[in-house]
Each structure stands twice: as C-alpha cells, then as structure tokens.
C-alpha cells in the first residue's frame, strides 16, 4: 500500500472516484464537493466541541487527592498513567501511521483534528498531574515499572506497529479495528474509576476533565466505526473469514486486558466497582462496538453501571453533576450510537 502524494497535479480524480485508501487525490482540499458526507458532518461536530484544559477548575482536587484512601490514590495514579500512554500513542499513530494512506480529503480533515485532540488530552493529563501530584515524574514513569501496565501498553501498540512495519491493505483494516477498540474499550476502566470517585463527591475537577476527553473519544470512536463500515462497502474483498476471525480474537483479547486492568487498579476496594461489575461492563462495551460494525455480539450482557452514562453526558443548558451550575461548554453532543 502506497502513501498518498501530498501534491499530485497530474491527478484527474473526481469526487465520485474518491476512496478511503488507494485513491489518486490531487492534494488539494476541495471541500465544496464531498463524497463521504459523514466525515464532513463529524468534522463540524469536532469543531463545535472545541474546549481547552485550563477551563477546568482543578482547585478542589488538590485537597481531595490528599484525602483519598491509599487504594483510591493508587488507582487514580495508575488510571491516569494508562490514559496518558494511550493519548500519547494516538497523537502520533493517527498522523504517522493512518493518515498517510487515507486518500479522501474529508477523512484527512477529521484525522488531523483527532490528532490535535489527542495532543490536547495529553495537556489535560499534564494539568491533572500537576494539580494533584508532588512528583509528576512518578506518574509519567509508571509504565516502565508497572509490568501490568506495560503488558497492556505493549498489546495495544502491537497492531499499530504491524501497520508501520508492513503497510498492507489488510493491516490497515486491522489498524482501523484496533483504533475502534482503543477508543471504545481501552479507555473505559480509567474513565469509570474517576467517575466513581466523582459520584462520591471526590475529584470533581478530574471527572469534569474526563467528561470533555470522553466526548472527544466518542467522536473518534464514531470516526473509525464509519471508516470500517465504509470500507466494508468499498472493499468487501478485504473482509475475509480470516480477517473476521482475527477481529474477533482482537476483541476477546481487549476484553480480557481491560477487565484485568480494571480489576487490577481497583483491587476490589472501590465502592461500586466489584470485579464482576468491571468484567460485565467491559463485555457490554465490546458487544456495543461489535454491533456498530456489523458483527454479532459475543457476550450478550446488559450494562451494569448505567449511571456512568449520565456522568459522561453533556446536555446544553442542563445542570451539571459536579458543580450544580449551568454549563455552556457543549456546543454539540454525540452519543455512542450516532452514525453519519
């Protein structure tokens, strides 16, 4: 699979000839003619969701963190360290590994925007770390010392490294599924733990920051679900029985990794997050993601912690859970089920 040319004046490709990959674009962003309307709609949604980390008040979290139990503090640090890794990985992965092969300008737009948002999340975590930690280096270096964390990080990066080493069409499609899994499963033990603290009145600034981050991640999830579904129509030949079997195994591995991680950081000591609840929630998320890209569910379980969805949502001019005041941050909203 070839990288696209950034300037290609010999191209005579028209809008109807555009492809997710394998096209022949000029390099000019002609956005008055759109083939993939879902991509342009998502671009506008991402712009409407613009926010900045320093808008979030972390003042109370400084004292809250000092008063967390040892188990709560350890879980917070580990969850934050894992989130830092994933957004760091995605900032580079999207630009260096995925976007160079995408030959549709409207899809290039949203991939560039996603990479910006991943970088913004890295700044968000820096704000969180600086607010609560007397030794920020300890959290940033945790991935080197905690073998459970490093094992998860290595597994997440594996598919992306395969694409970088061997950029075939099949590896590109697998990387799209890997992105869907990362955006739709791997973040959620950390998100849910921080929401659990907020539900008890602790670390409210952190939870507000995570709400902004998660709203972005939902758009990223929708992005890759639409990419996969579009590729299934454009290139059905790539969706072989062998690929489908590999994807199922990727999901099973992700469920095991995220379940183990969620149980590891909570250690059964966090009220409202038993080992069974963590496992069922991750399996529920996996089924939702599989259904969104035309696969059968694997687990057929219900959502055991529906209250998490309420904490994560933004609703214009509605009282926000954490401050009891009206929030105007959200100019746009998006649910897990939205398609374009």
The strand ranges marked E within 16-158 are: none
User: Kindly report the CA angle at 41 between 312 and 27, in degrees rounded to 5?
Assistant: 125
Question: What is d(CA 25, CA 37) in angstroms, rounded to the nearest whole number?
Answer: 17
Of 139, 1, 145, nearest to 80 by C-alpha is 139
Handedness of CA 305, 308, 309, 310 (dihedral sign): positive
Which burial class, exposed, middle or buried, applies to 192 when counting CB atoms under 10 A from its CB (0-12, 13-18, 19+)?
buried
| Cα gap 268→306, rounded to integer Å | 19
Residues annotated as catalytic (active site), given as ranges: 125
- CA angle at 285 for the pair 228 and 334, rounded to the nearest 5°: 65
- Separation CA 164–CA 296 (nearest Å): 29
Strand partners of residue 326: 319
How many CB atoms lie under 10 A from the CB of residue 223? 26
């Amino acid at each position: 699979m070839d990288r696209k040319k950034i300037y290609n004046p010999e191209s005579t490709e028209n809008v109807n000839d555009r492809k997710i990959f394998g096209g022949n674009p000029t390099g000019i962003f002609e956005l008055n003619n759109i083939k993939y309307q879902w991509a342009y709609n998502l671009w506008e949604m991402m712009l409407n969701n613009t926010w900045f980390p320093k808008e979030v008040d972390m003042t109370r979290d400084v004292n809250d963190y000092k008063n967390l139990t040892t188990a709560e503090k350890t879980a917070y640090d580990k969850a934050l360290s894992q989130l830092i890794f994933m957004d760091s990985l995605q900032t580079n992965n999207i630009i260096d590994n995925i976007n160079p092969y995408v030959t549709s300008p409207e899809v290039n737009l949203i991939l560039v925007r996603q990479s910006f948002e991943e970088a913004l999340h890295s700044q968000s975590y820096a704000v969180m770390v600086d607010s609560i930690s007397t030794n920020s280096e300890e959290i940033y270096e945790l991935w080197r010392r905690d073998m459970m964390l490093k094992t998860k990080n290595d597994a997440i990066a594996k598919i992306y490294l395969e694409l970088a080493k061997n950029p075939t069409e099949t590896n590109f499609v697998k990387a799209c599924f890997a992105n869907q899994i990362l955006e739709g499963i791997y973040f959620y033990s950390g998100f849910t733990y921080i929401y659990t603290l907020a539900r008890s009145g602790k670390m409210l600034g952190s939870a507000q920051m995570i709400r902004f981050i998660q709203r972005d991640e939902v758009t990223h999830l929708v992005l890759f679900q639409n990419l996969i579904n579009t590729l299934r129509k454009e290139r059905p030949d790539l969706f072989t029985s062998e690929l489908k079997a590999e994807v199922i195994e990727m999901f099973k591995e992700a469920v095991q990794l995220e379940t183990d991680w969620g149980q590891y950081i909570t250690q059964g000591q966090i009220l409202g997050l038993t080992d069974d609840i963590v496992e069922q929630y991750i399996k529920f998320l996996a089924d939702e993601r599989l259904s969104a890209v035309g696969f059968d569910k694997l687990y057929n379980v219900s959502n055991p912690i529906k209250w998490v969805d309420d904490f994560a949502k933004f609703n214009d001019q509605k009282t926000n859970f954490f401050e009891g005041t009206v929030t105007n941050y959200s100019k746009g909203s998006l649910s897990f089920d939205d398609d374009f």
